Amino acid sequence: ESTYHTLDAAGIRSLISGVPVVAGRLGGTPDLWRVHEVSDGNLNNVFIVGGPTGEVCLKQSLPYVRVDPTWKMPLDRTYFESEWLRAVRPLVGGLTTEFLHFDPVLHVLIVESLSGHTVYRSALMRGVDWPDVAPRIGTFIAHATFGTSLLALPFEDVFAARRDFARNVTLTRITLDLVFDHPYRDHPRNNWDEPELTPLVLDIRSSAPTLLAVENLRRRFLSQPQALLHGDLHTGSIMTKADDTRVIDGEFALYGPIGFDCGMFVGNLVLHYFATPDATARSATIRDIAAFWTCFHAQFLTLWNRDEAPPAGTLRPLAYGPAAHTAQLAFLEEIEADTMGFAAAEVIRRIIGYAHTADFDVIADPRQRGACRAGALAFAYYILDHTAQIRTLGDFLRHLGEQEKV
């Protein structure tokens, strides 16, 4: 058929048999291809397809939210994920997956399969300690954002990319509503099980400094198109093993403030921190956040100061020497402030908003689970309520380390 329909195993075999680059990777004939559904995100159907010589991962947009079919949605998200992948893969190499095929009628994206990898969130919940993952994410964000920004490309190219990704309005609207709006008022999509969180939620909603901090973040999210962002870089958007890490699922891609991607990642490590009562795992998480930031900061500066001539038409530096270096550090301080704010906003929405994360499911005792969630919520509230006092990621991590274990 040449119109959109949701694919089953037979439809997937038929589609792939017409795509030589994918069929060749699987090897053999379609009757030998095994199709296995692995959908576990909120939005799409995902399948692993294996053949005699290889495996691929196929993702198809649905005309609704997968976990809530009453929530209707256009199909264009796999297009934006394809465009994101094609833009960042040359910049980050093996830190994301290989693009293989996009079908604009069926809204299907096919990429390299990562069957030996685990979702980073699940690995953290199992208690693994892989200290190289967080710095790799720092490297990923530094290269993906620097390379799509005005620091690396002629403004004509950046403006064209901004125009393309500015059309990703459906998923940008989801972020705007679910991250920056609904948690701060009574909305039917919010939910939390533990009644002990309610007084804290009411405090957050009546704290003027907190609400103004969220308004500022929301404005920055929409009005600072510094670079092409992943847009949903939580620990479920990372597939990893100890020695190889890939960022996946770039369907929320948009031009925005670099600190948004950093903050999503840090916020999800903060959630993991509060979900584990184990002191050693907690210190490992603080180490990971610090290593992530150090690596991002160093790599971004290295890219900015590399000798290699930027493409013709790129903005050329007008000043050199110590003053120019100070200006670069000031830009990174702005990203640091954004990172902390966006991290706090991510923690709040994952606890009281529509889309929670699985981190706290490892805690069997409901009272302890509630207390851990309350700890995370109180921490995020403190960060937003004290933006003038918590000025560096060092301050942020010191405060995190002082939190009582439950």
Among 253, 257, 232, residue whose Cα is nearest residue 42:
232
Smallest gap from Cβ 249 to Mg ion, in A, equals: 4
Mark the segment that binds Mg ion (CB under 5 A) among 34-42, 61-69, 102-110, 296-304: 34-42
390, 304, 81, 335: CA torsion to nearest 10: 10
- Which is closer to ligand SR1, CB of 41 or CB of 147? 41
Smallest gap from Cβ 178 to ligand SR1, in A, equals: 5
Q: Does 42 bind ligand SR1 (CB under 6 A)?
A: yes
Smallest gap from Cβ 77 to Mg ion, in A, equals: 9
Residue the block writes with tokens 């009281």 = 352
- Which is closer to ligand SR1, CB of 81 or CB of 288? 81
Residues between 48 and 107 with contacts to ligand SR1, criterion CB under 6 A: 65
Smallest gap from Cβ 230 to Mg ion, in A, equals: 9
Number of residues near ligand SR1 (by CB under 6 A) = 9
Site mask for ligand SR1 (CB under 6 A), range 183-222, x = bound: ----------------------------------------
- Which is closer to ligand SR1, CB of 41 or CB of 370? 41
Q: Does 43 bind ligand SR1 (CB under 6 A)?
A: yes
Among 197, 218, 337, residue whose Cα is nearest residue 274:
197
Task: Let me know the angle formed at the C-alpha of 236 by 210 and 183, rounded to the nearest 5 degrees.
Answer: 25
Smallest gap from Cβ 11 to Mg ion, in A, equals: 23
Site mask for ligand SR1 (CB under 6 A), range 324-363, x = bound: -------------------------------x--------
Residues between 227 and 246 with contacts to ligand SR1, criterion CB under 6 A: 232
- Which is closer to Mg ion, CB of 103 or CB of 249? 249
* Cα 253 to Cα 166: distance, rounded to the nearest angstrom: 9
- Which is closer to ligand SR1, CB of 146 or CB of 221? 221
Tell me the CA distances in angstroms from 183 to 201, 272, 405, one per residue in order: 8, 20, 25
Q: Which residue's C-beta sits nearest to Mg ion?
A: 249
Which residue in the set 133, 174, 351, 400 belongs to the binding site for ligand SR1 (CB under 6 A)?
174
Q: Which does 288 bind (CB under 5 to 8 A by kind): Mg ion, ligand SR1, none?
A: none
- Which is closer to ligand SR1, CB of 33 or CB of 165? 165
Which residue in the set 41, 231, 257, 370 belongs to the binding site for Mg ion (CB under 5 A)?
41
* Cα 243 to Cα 358: distance, rounded to the nearest angstrom: 24
Smallest gap from Cβ 208 to ligand SR1, in A, equals: 26
367 in Cβ contact with 258 (< 8 Å): no
Mark the segment that binds ligand SR1 (CB under 6 A) among 38-46, 113-121, 219-227, 374-382: 38-46
- Which is closer to Mg ion, CB of 230 or CB of 282? 230
Binding site for Mg ion (CB under 5 A): 41, 249
Binding site for ligand SR1 (CB under 6 A): 41-43, 65, 174-175, 178, 232, 355
